Structure 1
């Protein structure tokens, strides 16, 4: 196995929390309304179109409003505007990313996210440490399409085989492998991730 020289992070559920039901609860007064808001916004299939850059934010909001009772439109508008402020860094993974940089390993971001990604990733302690990033909505392609992983490699001059991609989604990890990268599916077990990185990156070994 080729030694890892670059580590590529997904954002949601890896570096930052993404929890649509929890975001919805923050802007509603009861569980029933929270569920309705979740279904109309984060649970809509069009949310993926927003991340793909196929629709804009105004269109997404109109679609959500069409699937939600008017009495909840103020809550919807507030949630749509402010939910990134409720996304929190996953401290352990962020600390691990910092250790990688301190050890001389370049880190990159590869995320399926909308054009307002900076309102979320800007809250991440390692945001300024990325050597580069690729975001789906700006490129009009998404994980797990191998093309988006190849784009990152071409843009930053990386050899795919020396890259480790970390994502919480198994399909996205498979897409990385098709593109020639190594991958790791993060399931929340920080210790397992640390051990994997230590086993594949010589600079992290004792």
Structure 2
């Protein structure tokens, strides 16, 4: 199959796309503490533009303030959890097939990464955070452009961050494919005219990416 000429760029999320989803780690933590399943997701989804998580990913508060605000928000739901307990859960295992897919796309299109992150993810710290930094170190140099929420001061799903990437790559939104593991982040991309792919698992993602780009992700992607 040949690359689709109408596609100019493929834009990727990082966590939950190139690495396994942090939601899996959240659920393990919740189970170990006897907390309701998906509690952390509920906390993060409530008031998602201005909660502790949003402020932290825009680098508007430091780690200590995030720790305290997250504790306030979780306590309000009846299950106190400190923000500092959640940060080590953000890392995941690298998905080699997705990295190969990125390299394949890079041969035909511009490639960019938009990631909601926090400053502490790039600082020395717990082993889990360092492993996440190692995964990023393998993947990030492959991109033509990268936007990190903690540096840009804007985070997904704000439409501005997608338009910022289009400007960096010098492409129109309608000529882009966008991949993210969160539907809330896919919606604004689609509204701007991008072909949005919600990442559920690797097989599903590569099948939809092949359909969107015209590329074939063959045996080397399965190794």
TM-score range with shorter-chain normalisation? Answer: 0.7 to 0.9
Following the alignment from structure 2 to structure 1, what is the Cα–Cα distance between the partners of residues 217 and 116? 32
1:121–1:127 Cα change, 3 Å: farther
More off after superposition, 117-126 vs 139-148: 117-126
Confirm whether residue 22 of structure 1 aligns to residue 35 of structure 2.
no
Query: Could you tell me which residue of structure 2 aligns to residue 197 of structure 1?
Result: 209
Query: Could you tell me which residue of structure 2 aligns to residue 50 of structure 1?
Result: 56
Query: Could you tell me which residue of structure 2 aligns to residue 63 of structure 1?
Result: 69
What is the CA RMSD across the aligned residues, in angstroms? 3.5
Moved beyond 6 Å, runs of 4+: none
Q: Is the 8 A contact 1:147 1:179 kept in 2?
A: no
Q: Is the 8 A contact 2:25 2:89 kept in 1?
A: no
The equivalent position to 1:123 in structure 2, one of 105, 119, 135, is: 135
Query: Could you tell me which residue of structure 1 aligns to residue 48 of structure 2?
Result: none
The equivalent position to 1:162 in structure 2, one of 160, 169, 175, is: 175
Cα drift, residue 202 of structure 1: 4.1
Q: Is the 8 A contact 1:112 1:136 kept in 2?
A: yes
Secondary structure of the residue aligned to 2:151 is helix
Following the alignment from structure 1 to structure 2, what is the Cα–Cα distance between the partners of residues 42 and 115? 23
Q: Give the aligned length.
A: 194
Query: Could you tell me which residue of structure 1 aligns to residue 111 of structure 2?
Result: 107
Q: Is the 8 A contact 1:41 1:64 kept in 2?
A: no
Confirm whether residue 136 of structure 1 aligns to residue 139 of structure 2.
no
Query: Could you tell me which residue of structure 2 aligns to residue 148 of structure 1?
Result: 161
1:59–1:4 Cα change, 3 Å: same
Query: Could you tell me which residue of structure 2 aligns to residue 5 of structure 1?
Result: 8
TM-score (normalizing by structure 1): 0.73
1:56-109 deviations in Å (ceiling 9; x for gaps): 2221123356668xxx99x975x566445x4221233223222222x3333211
TM-score (normalizing by structure 2): 0.68
Cα drift, residue 184 of structure 1: 1.1
The equivalent position to 1:180 in structure 2, one of 176, 190, 193, is: 193
Following the alignment from structure 2 to structure 1, what is the Cα–Cα distance between the partners of residues 217 and 52? 44
Q: Is the 8 A contact 1:16 1:121 kept in 2?
A: no
